[in-house]
Chains A and B, each alone.
Chain A
Amino acid sequence: MLGTISLLATISAIPIFMIIINIYSEGLRYVSLSFLIDFPPPPIGGKAGGIGPALAGSLILMSLALMIGGCIGFFTGLYLSEFSHTKLAQYTQLFLQIMVEFPTIIIGLFAYSILVVPLKRFNAFAGAFALSVVIIPYIALNVREAYKSIPYSLKEAAFSLGISHPKAYLRVLLSAARRGVLTALLIGMAKAAGETAPLLFTILGTSFSYFEGLDKPINAIPLLIYNFALSPYERWHQVAWGASAILLSIILAIFVISRIVVKEVKI
């Protein structure tokens, strides 16, 4: 019995190693410094090219999503934890738990209808907005856990100092919950880095220019992979493999950082 369970557990972990090996063995050979900076190659002829605009676009979209979704998600999570007895908190939590399960392509369509259609143009902000909506529930629910995990006696200690709610939560207790909060933000970042569906209808994925403004199209690595992998050109397939290796590296780096952060938890 135990043997069977152990075997199954091992089997379930196999895909991650196969994915990592597969992506790196196919993709790493195309990665170089110029690959990170250059424009994509033309389908035929010319230089090897790179994913510069998409990488920059991904970083911009991640930062924006983290700024918008991080702020909203953090304060929502704090509210859910500390005012959990209110009806508002109970319903908000329920809705966020539903939103976690939402197909992200629907969120992309929503952003398309309210931010792309009125502007009559695909734009970076619509993508950042869609990503924010995707990551808010993850961040909020994890920040809630982080604040919930603070021992009650520490909360009493903080408030016994005669300080206001904002000071207690942000200047005393935040540092007690900082690892959980940081992990929440990192999870949000990883999510924002890897999502493709929210970007399909929002940013277009222009690969031949760097950032031109929030109201203009932009590219992101997952979308570039999607577009290039579907193309009929071998050169573009190679770029897609290289981009996959970069994307995987970003996600793994975020994961490693969050593990280091969590490991230090002592309270």
Chain B
Amino acid sequence: MTWAIEVNNLNVWYGDKHILKNISFKIPKNIIFAIMGPSGCGKSTLLRAMNRLLELNPHARVEGQVRIDGIDVYNDNVDITWVRRQFGMVFQIPNPFPHLSIYENVALGPKLNGLVKNKSQLDELVKQALEQAYLWDEVKNDLKKPASMLSGGQQQRLCIARALALKPKIVLMDEPTANLDPVASSKIEELMLELKENYTIIIVTHNPQQAARISDYVAFLYMGELIEIGETSMVFTRPRHELTEKYVVGRMG
């Protein structure tokens, strides 16, 4: 079996602070994998260690391996921009480029990476990505308008379209619904279930109910350590670790 992603003995430090401690796991393709845990447990750091976005922080130091399709993204011969293109990333605060139009927000990645040959291919790709993100019907007449005119939920779906336009293997989502209202959140959750047909999705959430609702596999992270990982139904009904049990029943937040 080829795994979507394999993490081996991953350690992360910010300066002297040991943030992630010996994290190892692997997950299959075309599933939703949720990483849950209380704030400050290292969830977002783990996500950023996978696509090497962590390296924007000059104080971060990483040891260990992250393999996608068998290739270690930390191998010296691997180009960091290639690594980042294998992942599409969606952030906690919807962060479309506010000065760009809706169209340009989606088109920018493919254009700068030379993924398309001409304008009509780009138009097609933008349309496809917006359709996949359930946004096309709402914005098809406003493609030239600035992204800042969209609602929060629409902006987040625009960010999903921007991520999908890179044709990534894996979609990383860092608490994508944390700043959205319940209706917009459920729309994003529906969308994720649709997307796993074509992508592997890794979502970070501080909300165990959300993990239970949408994920196939779940990991519980606590103070930088991977406490438990497994099929979601198992982890929620028969947690092996006391801390996990406390967390999923809501006695620890």
Residues in A lying within 8 Å of B, measured CB to CB:
83, 85, 151, 153-164, 167, 171-172, 175-176, 178, 266-267
Contacts and interface: CB of A to CB of B under 8 A. Distances in A.
Question: Interface majority SS on A: helix, strand, loop or mixed?
Answer: helix
Contacts of B83: 162
A55 to B, nearest CB: 36
Contact of B53 (A83, A160, A164): A160
B90 to A, nearest CB: 9
Contact of B99 (A83, A162, A175): A175
Given A162-B82, A175-B99, A175-B100, A156 B56 contact: yes
B239 interface: no
Contact of B84 (A154, A161, A266): A161
Contacts of B109: 161-163
Given A156-B53, A160-B89, A162-B81, A266 B148 contact: yes
A100 B95 CA distance: 36
A154 B108 contact: no
A161 B108 contact: yes
Nearest to B48: A156
Given A156-B89, A159-B84, A163-B109, 6 more contacts: A85-B59, A155-B56, A157-B96, A160-B89, A175-B99, A178-B99
Contacts of B59: 85
B81 A163 contact: yes
B112 interface: yes
Contacts of A176: 97-99
B87 interface: yes
Interface of B: 51, 53, 56, 58-59, 81-89, 91-93, 95-100, 108-109, 112-113, 148, 159, 162-163, 166
A172 B148 contact: no
5 contacts: A157-B162, A162-B84, A162-B109, A175-B100, A176-B97
A164 B112 CA distance: 9
A46 to B, nearest CB: 55
B120 to A, nearest CB: 22
A162 B93 contact: no
Which of A83, A153, A161 has the most chain B CB within a 10 Å cutoff?
Answer: A161
Contacts, number: 73
Contact of A160 (B58, B87, B99): B87
Which of A85, A156, A160 has the most chain B CB within a 10 Å cutoff?
Answer: A160
B113 A163 contact: yes
Which of A85, A155, A157, A175 has the most chain B CB within a 10 Å cutoff?
Answer: A157
B84 A172 contact: no
A259 to B, nearest CB: 19
Given A162-B82, A162-B84, A162-B85, A157 B166 contact: no
Contacts of A178: 99
B84 A160 contact: yes
A153 B99 contact: no
B95 A153 contact: yes
B81 A164 contact: yes
Contacts of B97: 154, 157-158, 172, 175-176
A178 B97 CA distance: 13
A161 B112 contact: yes
A266 B110 CA distance: 26
Given A162-B81, A162-B82, A162-B85, A157 B113 contact: no
Nearest to B59: A85
A171 B112 contact: yes
Nearest to B86: A162
